[in-house]
Structure 1
Amino acid sequence: MVSEIQSVKFGEKEIIYSIDRTERKTIGIVVEPDGKVIVKAPFNLERDMIQDTVYKKRKWIVEKLKLTEEIKKPIPVKHELVSGEKILLKNRLIRLKIYNSPTKRSKITYAFKTLHIYVNENLSVIQKEEEIKRVLIEWYKEKAFSIISKRIEKYLNVIDYRPQEIKVRDQKIRWGSCTKDGRLIFNWRIIMAPISAIDYIIVHELCHMKEPPHSSKFWDLIESLFPNYKKWKEWLRINGRLLDLRI
């Protein structure tokens, strides 16, 4: 079926979207990694109602489109971990704010899309950079472990295999791995990705517990648990290079 192409104005910006008619009962809006806006709507829903829904969600759509533009930009050679720098958390840009602190122990808090890092004021410039990097990566690891532990339960209810242990490490090449004794190891950088990409990585490693090689059975098992896995596999292939601090 040919998609219907429509548009809606938001200030000076025109949001162009396609309508895919399906048997679903509600409207769903998706912003693809390449910037395409797709509205999935019931067959019998009037176009005016679809337009009204898109208009109500226009701010959310524009924010998502801005993010797709961000990830298309050339990768900076290096991040400077200074106040005002932006980093990724679950596919959203958050701002860093660095403080000099009289206490020796570093502290990190997150509120209102800003990550506040407190480091000892007596450290040298180089020491301060290393300390900020250290506490930031530890914070990422904690966040990654927390969300993986929660998300994995969704799939453990379906698959008969339960991992012996879940670990989050600094892996330079792999997003995740599964050991022969049933331990799942994940790269902390996945916490920078969208939730659906994280889910794909989790399902990928869970399926290795049952089907170790990348056989047709393996991919069939993934598809049974996560039907749109190809989309997020491709997203990681294209955008995975952005999931790093580059420092």
Structure 2
Amino acid sequence: MVRIGQTEVAYELRRSAAVSERRITVTPGHVEVLALTTDDDAEIDAFLNRKRQWLFNTLRELETTTAKRAVVPRFMTGSKIPFRGRNARLTVRHHDGAHVEIDYRNGFLVDLPSWVRADDQGGIVATEIKLWLKRRVRRDVMEIAATYRKRFDLKPRTIRVTDMKTGWGACGPTGSILINWTLVFAPKAVLEYVVVHELAHLKVRSHGPEFWAYLATLLPGYERPKGWLDTHQGSLDAGFLAAGT
């Protein structure tokens, strides 16, 4: 318990050998203090004393923001973010660090520093999540492509993950492949299907029977992820992009 004026604030203390500095993270109704494994009670008390004003301001801002919101908006705690075919819960926290940090652990965790104003939170969280999603899908695409390059000697000239106004992927005449980044909202098996589909075009350019037979040798059972994409392609990215990112 830490006292701020006439108010006592309960907090959860967690120690970690993996961190090099102490941290406070605040969400509505919960305060977590992350301490070093070597910290004694006096060091933790001194740290909390130094952060007393920051903690007070952050708690007051959260209370004000929560009171103004009749419903949970997009990109705030409680929102649902589409990711790999399901909706993942978003938790927005406030911490005493200098940078916006984002992680995924059975849901999205976004830590905002104190310089982020309440009115700007939604936009900043949306931007950070979009960047994280793009990095994640690029990593996934490169891993999938590397697997099939090794197994089947399929070597595209280049492979890029990008915004595509139409289509989910493309294989150019020189062997350059494009993949639509919004496939991050589909199950990973669907992303794999699209990547392998475009890799197959390195050997067979058309969409005739020869192509589908060859694709089946690369990815047996491709019909299932293809069917999922055919069914959901009209609304795959709507839940995220319609929120104003």
TM-score scaled by structure 1? 0.60
1:229 aligns with 2:222: yes
Taking the TM superposition and a 5 Å limit, the aligned residue runs for 1:39-188 are 80-101=74-95, 105-111=99-105, 113-124=106-117, 127-188=120-181
Question: Per the alignment, do residues 206 and 119 of structure 1 end up closer, same or farther by CA in structure 2, a change over 3 Å counting?
Answer: same
- Cα displacement string for residues 172-231 of structure 1 (whole angstroms, at most 9, x for unaligned residues): 322222223322221222122223212211111101222233233222221221222222
| Distance in 1, Cα, partners of 2:222 & 2:182 | 19
1:241 aligns with 2:241: no
The size of the alignment, in residue pairs, is: 168
Aligned-residue identity in percent: 26
| Distance in 1, Cα, partners of 2:164 & 2:122 | 21
| Distance in 1, Cα, partners of 2:120 & 2:167 | 29
For the 8 Å contact 2:148–2:154, the answer to whether it is kept is no
Question: Per the alignment, do residues 213 and 121 of structure 1 end up closer, same or farther by CA in structure 2, a change over 3 Å counting?
Answer: farther
| Distance in 2, Cα, partners of 1:197 & 1:206 | 14
| Distance in 1, Cα, partners of 2:131 & 2:148 | 26
1:197 aligns with 2:190: yes
Match of 1:202, SS?
Answer: helix
Alpha-carbon deviation of 1:100? 3.8
**RMSD of equivalent CA atoms:** 2.4
| Unmatched runs of 5 consecutive residues or more in structure 2 | 1-72
TM-score scaled by structure 2? 0.60
Alpha-carbon deviation of 1:121? 4.2
| Distance in 2, Cα, partners of 1:241 & 1:80 | 21
Taking the TM superposition and a 5 Å limit, the aligned residue runs for 1:14-25 are none
| Unmatched runs of 5 consecutive residues or more in structure 1 | 1-78
Question: Per the alignment, do residues 227 and 105 of structure 1 end up closer, same or farther by CA in structure 2, a change over 3 Å counting?
Answer: same
User: Aligned letter for 2:214?
Assistant: L
- Cα displacement string for residues 51-86 of structure 1 (whole angstroms, at most 9, x for unaligned residues): xxxxxxxxxxxxxxxxxxxxxxxxxxxx71111112
Alpha-carbon deviation of 1:163? 1.6
Match of 2:77, SS?
Answer: coil
